[in-house]
Structure 1
Amino acid sequence: MLTGRIILESLRVGSELRIPGLVATWVSRQDVSSSTASFQPEVWTLLDFEAPDDAYDALVEGLSGALAADQGWYADFRAGDDHVVVYPGRVFRYRHGDPAGRDEAREYGRKEGIPAGQLDWEDTSPST
């Protein structure tokens, strides 16, 4: 099972995500004004989801193509024991607890202008 979160404001206007089997498990609106960059909205709509393992390729391709490239966005999700971080046009997949893989994905995000505080994703084993 794939599980993750999408910040809906991160999607390009006009983009669509059609992922077979994707189910929304939680939706929330959050004031994040204390942690956003000046080019990001101060309120985010968070969508937590689950999808079957065989939706992996569609999810990666869909997110990679739908994320707004010029506004410092990414999406991430769990795929078994792996953490998948999707940036516009670039994907990182590494084992939970692999500091080198995590650091590589975070460094790429920093180079893309994502605020450091937004690159603080939880990276523990799914069993913890």
Structure 2
Amino acid sequence: MYDGAVILESLRVGTELGEIPLVVRKLSRYAMSTASADQPKVWSVLEFGVDDSRAEDLAKTLSEALDAPGWYADFHNDDEIFVVFPGRVFRYARGDSGARAEAQEFGRTLKIPEPQLDWTF
């Protein structure tokens, strides 16, 4: 099982994720002091689990559903991490600092604020 989070405000209007079963772990709302000018100041965060067999499907679906600019979602298990941006998926082994740095650099091209580029290592 992979665990992750998606900011609901990051999804394009009209997005539905009903075809991929998710286990809802937690739903929270936060005031964000690091929000960019393109992001709302309050976020709704859905923490979820997804079965190993559906992780690739979820990554592809999210890459098509995330709004631009400046959003991503991530999920991981004990062995690997998915970081999903609009139109781009990074999948790499946990602890691979080079692959993580590559994903972070891509996030910077989308003008994601530096404090937000802090997913699980």
TM-score class, shorter: over 0.9
Matches of 1:9 and 1:21, distance apart in 2: 20
Please report how far the alpha carbon of residue 19 of structure 1 lies from its aligned counterpart in structure 2 after TM superposition. 4.0
The worse-fitting range, judged by mean Cα deviation, of 114-123 and 104-113 is 114-123
Q: Is the CA contact (8 Å cut-off) linking 1:31 and 1:43 kept in structure 2? A: yes
Residues 1:10 and 2:5 aligned together: no
Distance 1:51 1:36 in 2: 27
Cα-Cα RMSD: 1.1
What is the CA-CA distance between 1:38 and the residue it aligns to? 1.0
Q: Is the 8 A contact 2:83 2:90 kept in 1?
A: yes
The residue that corresponds to 2:27 in the other structure is 27
Tell me, what secondary structure is at the counterpart of 2:60? helix
Percent identity reads: 50
TM-aligned CA deviation for residue 49 of structure 1:
0.3
Residue pair 1:2, 1:56 contacting (<8 A) in 2 also: yes
The one-letter amino acid of 2:76's match is R
- Greater shift, 23-32 or 55-64, is seen at 55-64
Q: Deviations over 1:47-91 (max 9, x none)?
A: 00011111112201110110002x310000004410110001101
**TM-score, normalized by length of structure 1?**
0.89
TM superposition score normalised by structure 2:
0.94
Q: 2:78–2:94: 8 Å Cα contact kept in structure 1?
A: no
1:39-50 aligned at under 5 Å gives the runs: 39-50=38-49
Partner amino acid, structure 2, of 1:53: D
SS at structure 2 position matched to 1:68: coil
Q: 2:51 is matched by which residue type in structure 1?
A: P
1:45 maps to amino acid: S
Give 4+ residue runs of structure 1 displaced > 2 Å after superposition: 18-21
Alignment of 1:58-69 (within 5 A): 58-69=57-68
Aligned partners of 1:18 and 1:62 also within 8 Å: no
Which residue number in structure 1 is paired with residue 110 of structure 2? Answer: 112
Structure 2 stretches of 5 or more lacking a match?
Answer: none
SS of corresponding position for 1:57: helix
Query: Which ranges of structure 1 fall in alignment gaps of 5 or more residues?
Result: 124-128
